[in-house]
Structure 1
Amino acid sequence: MTFLIISFIAGLLTVLAPCVLPLLPVVVGSAASGRSRNTPYIVVGSLALSIIAFTYILKVSTAFIMIPPQTWMYLSGGILTIFGLTLLFPALWGNIPGIAKLSSNSNKVLGAGYQKKSFWGDVIIGASLGPIFSTCSPTYFVILASVLPASFLLGTIYLLAYVLGLSIVLLLIAMLGERFASKLGVLSDPHSSFKKVLGALFIILGLLIVFGIEKKIETAILDSGFFDITKIEQRLLQQNDPNVSESQGTNGNSYQTQPYVEIVNPSGFVNTDGAPIALSDYVGKKVILVDFMTYSCINCQRTFPYMAAWYEKYKDEGLIIVGIHTPEFAFEKNIDNVRAAMEKFGITYPVVLDNDYATWGAYGNQYWPRKYLIDINGTIVYDHIGEGDYAETEMKIQELLKERASVLGMDSMSDRSLAATNITEVKTQSNSPETYFGSLRNEYLGNGKAGLSGEQQFTQPQTPGLNTLYLGGTWNIQREYASGGAGSSVLYKYAAKDVYIVAESDSGAEIEVWQDGKRVDAAGGDDVVSGSVTVKGSQLYKLIHNARAEGHTLELRVKSGTVRLYAFTFG
């Protein structure tokens, strides 16, 4: 409920940001054009529906992934330019070849739309900006990246709340514009100077969109520091955790029992010789530990030694571990990548690929990692979120194995020592957030517009801000990652002991790692050799291992090859 309210407030605040600059002239200009008293409602309503529709079509679905983004820019900009021309030159519409026939036939949508008080004309105007709608709202990014993949219904509810807040403010602005124009007495005259000014405004806006200039203007405003309403949202999100982000060492246990939930729509299996498995195969026979994880997640990786040790010690005593691999990034859907990662981390128990988030959603899970213990009767009796509490979890495993032995009339295990005591636990010591490079979640981008995809040029500041991502040179920003070649760079001032990055390269890329103005030496992570990291496979790379948690400025310089960067994580 709390996140629903935050989504609504985020929609209200979005109108104050430069990200929605193209919407305001359309809404105000359409309402003030005197077409109909219902125009503000129709335009804003169709705009809202268009935003929702194209959010799914362009940002969630991959159905139109092959269509270049410029196509939608041309479509939206073209519609606005045509509408502006009809306001500037009222007689133009009827003189366009073929329009008379268009208007006389059954399809009168466009023909009547611009010159007459047409419902469909207002719909077209309002819907024209849906394909290019973007926002710098971090709440919108959370809905897109975390809630929707896990729960379509819940994500849709939050998205509707966000769009409702946005629409209410836009409608108020539209009605004020209409009232202002009405007082000027210019609504009924199609040749008034006021309408010609509106027409010119629409033409300018349409051309700005077609040539991508409006995005550059928005970026410049954001870079200047004005209208940065995202900080308000960030505070709301931090104070009211919607449980939709990766657990960064946050621990939590639940002992409320409930029946186990079966694996749903698996995408593949690892460590089973290709044979499918189900939890029902083990209920009544074994104690089951279900582990939700993904292989590039550092929090998950820190739990792998414990999982492997528990499986090795207790598998003959009746424990079965089933890993549910729910991917955060697209490359983690590749079964070969998952298989290689499990081998690297010594994971030999069954792993189920949950590429569609079906099992994740069935459990109502929101975290990587998360562990559920299921007793021999098929009841979930233990639930742990995040890292830590390894001794407690292992003692619970022993308790359930003892119960199993009693139910099956078997001898109870004699070795009650803990395997976890032989592993050094790594404590999270970070005051820096997980930071994403892709346009879906790059709200921490400091020298560009969050949410904007495509090739862009970046200039880094002399003095970077804390926990802010700065790119340098040419980067191609896509939904999940930023791709850069030789000469590209990354600047990030952080507060942590360890720094990791999720990255990949098709043919290999060499990146120099600098800290506080010097090539790293002793502080280099496991994957750094002689001050450089070589990115090959799709995985998490360990860049920095400081002696203690403290503030530093990290710089990455791409020396050769092309690399795709997904996210920084800190420890």
Structure 2
Amino acid sequence: MAATFTLLASFAAVGGAWLVEVNQYGRYVAMLLLLLLGAALIFPALSERLMRPFVSLGGRLQQHADQQGNFKGSLLLGVAVGFLWAPCAGPILGLVLAGAALNGANLYSALLLLVFAAGAATSLGFALLAGGRMFKLMKRGLGAEEWVRRGLGIAVVAGVVVIALGWDTRFLSQFSYLNTANTEQKLIAQLAQKPGATIVAETLTMPPLTGATQWLNSPPLSSEMLRGKVVLVDFWTYSCINCLRTLPYLKAWDDKYRAQGLVIIGVHAPEFAFEKDQRNVQQAIRDLGITYPVAMDNQYVIWNAYKNEYWPAHYLFDANGKIRHKHFGEGAYKETEQMIQTLLKEAHQDVLAMGDKLVNVAGTGATAAAANIERSPETYLGYARQKNLASPEVLRNDVVSSYSTPRVLKPNQWALQGKWLVSEQSAALPTAGGAISYHFQGRDLHLVLGSRSGKPVRFKVTLDGAAPGADHGVDIDALGNGIILEQRLYQLIRQNGKIGFHTFRIEFLDGDAEAFAFTFG
């Protein structure tokens, strides 16, 4: 009997999870099922009517088992008992299965089914051993059992109402939160290639630079044309905060070593769709003061030729086109510049009149170096890479839907407020009045923003419920006012005081705002 319950219930649970996965309306079907089963607990007559077909089947199996006898008959009798017991167990089992359909087949549901089956078998086993005395005790408790069933039924119906109104997730969001960002980052660091500086042997030749969709600040270049030059290839994209923080060094190296034979090539490989727009990239290059050649690699042809995986990534080649040094991520500026000097000396021993002194740079605004403190992780708002969203409503992909902000945000949680269209890469606000909140840690808070219509979008920022004052970023004033004029990374917070967890909120005063990703410094 226990095996029958567990096996059939497991199939039902898996089927229910599959149903919800392929069709979001399966959730509503499951809630209707919960409502029906709750009513069956409250009204025994309804329960008996629902289970009558199963009881009838169990009766036929029992008759067949009586005719068979021996071990085979015992097995059939066990199956029959399972069906005969359905009038009592059916609603409870149904609740378990409906819960599995809503939450998916998981270890919790499997253990619940196993305990349920074991409890059923244990109850009947005790009844068999105790004989008539146990049956008398069970009969005395029938009245209380009936009221317990009805009480459970009322609780189930109330639970359906709570789930349908979204009160359950709103409640749980206040108490059940586990920040896994640090653990995830540690696992990624262990399982993936760790970014860093590497001096490599003179064996790998510079991959081709063909395949760029457009060259800026220069005619198209090729690896053959660059022979005799020391070449630094930098993979970047203009809304990447890590890339922006390396630019002061790249620009300083270009100024100092270009005349000595160094060629820096920025390969712009877009992360978001708007970064493929040539006008956006040209505007960013002008704003950032980049004068060295930039190849727009919209189709990732150069990216794939280098087998690159990071923004930013630096590849340094000697005058013979052999790779001698590479570095992924920020940092290692001293090692990179020293290698630049070494390769220039190898190629042109008499041209280093500038000496071996290293550049001394300090970025401003978003290009300033990150603070050496714990900070919140990079957070994407599109559903493709989304995490830590605390809005209690069910996320609806590519559909305009209403979201709300819980009363309390836990560390590194964020939430939407208002009617948003969440797509693969971004969260867009069709009309004015929506907001985004984030409980973050870090000196700087940046947000990649854009306007879907191209028109200016006004917004207002608060920090812990007040105007940011001296802690405002370069893209807003002390009162928190700012305007989206183009699609790029905006620095909204630059703290001057004690660095800790703070609640950031941005409210959009016009429609058509689009938000892509948070980064922190």
What are the Cα deviations for residues 216-253 of structure 1, in whole angstroms up to 9, with x where unaligned? 58855763655x6x64x5454232225899x9xx9721
Partner residue of 2:438 out of 461, 473, 492: 492
Match for residue 537 of structure 1? 486
CA deviation after TM superposition for structure 1 residue 424, in Å? 5.3
CA deviation after TM superposition for structure 1 residue 168, in Å? 9.3
Q: Is the 8 A contact 1:495 1:549 kept in 2?
A: no
Letter in 1 for 2:369: K
CA deviation after TM superposition for structure 1 residue 510, in Å? 0.8
Show the 5 A alignment for 1:4-23.
none
Match for residue 238 of structure 1? 185
Q: Does 1:564 align with 2:509?
A: no
Q: Is the 8 A contact 1:309 1:419 kept in 2?
A: no
TM-score relative to the length of structure 1: 0.60
| Aligned CA distance change for structure 1 residues 565 and 349 (closer, same or farther; 3 Å) | same
Match for residue 289 of structure 2? 346
Match for residue 246 of structure 2? 303
| Aligned CA distance change for structure 1 residues 331 and 214 (closer, same or farther; 3 Å) | farther
Q: Does 1:518 align with 2:466?
A: yes
| Aligned CA distance change for structure 1 residues 287 and 549 (closer, same or farther; 3 Å) | farther
CA deviation after TM superposition for structure 1 residue 439, in Å? 1.5
Partner residue of 1:528 out of 476, 479, 482: 476
Show the 5 A alignment for 1:303-342.
303-342=246-285
Q: Does 1:415 align with 2:349?
A: no
Partners in 2 of 1:432 and 1:294 — Cα distance?
Answer: 22
User: Unaligned 5+ residue runs, structure 2?
Assistant: 33-49, 51-100, 122-159
| Aligned CA distance change for structure 1 residues 395 and 214 (closer, same or farther; 3 Å) | farther
Letter in 2 for 1:465: K
Partners in 1 of 2:206 and 2:28 — Cα distance?
Answer: 49
Q: Does 1:437 align with 2:385?
A: no
Q: Is the 8 A contact 1:466 1:494 kept in 2?
A: yes
| Aligned CA distance change for structure 1 residues 419 and 492 (closer, same or farther; 3 Å) | same
Show the 5 A alignment for 1:383-462.
383-406=326-349, 411-416=350-355, 418=357, 420-423=359-362, 426-429=368-371, 430-433=373-376, 434-448=378-392, 452-453=396-397, 454-462=399-407
| Aligned CA distance change for structure 1 residues 269 and 173 (closer, same or farther; 3 Å) | farther
Q: Is the 8 A contact 1:243 1:367 kept in 2?
A: no
Partners in 2 of 1:264 and 1:218 — Cα distance?
Answer: 55
Partners in 2 of 1:518 and 1:387 — Cα distance?
Answer: 33
Match for residue 138 of structure 2? none
What are the Cα deviations for residues 283-334 of structure 1, in whole angstroms up to 9, with x where unaligned? x321110111110112211221221221222222211111121222111122
CA deviation after TM superposition for structure 1 residue 170, in Å? 11
Show the 5 A alignment for 1:149-298.
219-220=169-170, 223=173, 225-226=175-176, 231=179, 234=181, 236-242=183-189, 252-257=196-201, 258-263=203-208, 266-271=211-216, 275=220, 277-282=221-226, 284-298=227-241
Partner residue of 1:481 out of 409, 412, 426: 426
Letter in 1 for 2:359: A
| Aligned CA distance change for structure 1 residues 413 and 556 (closer, same or farther; 3 Å) | same
TM-score relative to the length of structure 2: 0.65
Q: Is the 8 A contact 2:218 2:293 kept in 1?
A: no
Partners in 2 of 1:76 and 1:285 — Cα distance?
Answer: 65
Partners in 1 of 2:385 and 2:102 — Cα distance?
Answer: 12
User: Unaligned 5+ residue runs, structure 1?
Assistant: 1-30, 55-71, 82-87, 89-132, 136-165, 184-207
Partners in 1 of 2:191 and 2:515 — Cα distance?
Answer: 22
Letter in 1 for 2:213: G
CA deviation after TM superposition for structure 1 residue 374, in Å? 1.0
Q: Is the 8 A contact 2:6 2:113 kept in 1?
A: no
Partners in 1 of 2:235 and 2:197 — Cα distance?
Answer: 15
Question: How large is the Cα RMSD of the aligned pairs?
Answer: 4.7
Letter in 1 for 2:271: E
Q: Is the 8 A contact 1:40 1:175 kept in 2?
A: no
Letter in 1 for 2:354: D
Letter in 2 for 1:442: Q
Partners in 2 of 1:272 and 1:521 — Cα distance?
Answer: 39
Partners in 2 of 1:173 and 1:516 — Cα distance?
Answer: 44
Partners in 1 of 2:384 and 2:405 — Cα distance?
Answer: 21
Partners in 1 of 2:28 and 2:164 — Cα distance?
Answer: 11
Match for residue 381 of structure 1? 324
| Aligned CA distance change for structure 1 residues 540 and 256 (closer, same or farther; 3 Å) | same
| Aligned CA distance change for structure 1 residues 481 and 448 (closer, same or farther; 3 Å) | farther
Q: Is the 8 A contact 1:474 1:488 kept in 2?
A: yes
CA deviation after TM superposition for structure 1 residue 345, in Å? 1.0
2:335 partner SS = helix
- Between the aligned residues of both structures, percent identity stands at 30
Q: Is the 8 A contact 2:264 2:293 kept in 1?
A: yes
Q: Does 1:501 align with 2:447?
A: yes
Letter in 2 for 1:568: F
Find the structure with the greater CA-based Rg.
Answer: 2
CA deviation after TM superposition for structure 1 residue 549, in Å? 5.2
CA deviation after TM superposition for structure 1 residue 270, in Å? 2.9
CA deviation after TM superposition for structure 1 residue 373, in Å? 0.8
Q: Is the 8 A contact 1:326 1:353 kept in 2?
A: yes
The size of the alignment, in residue pairs, is 415
What are the Cα deviations for residues 483-508 of structure 1, in whole angstroms up to 9, with x where unaligned? 22422122222222121111001311
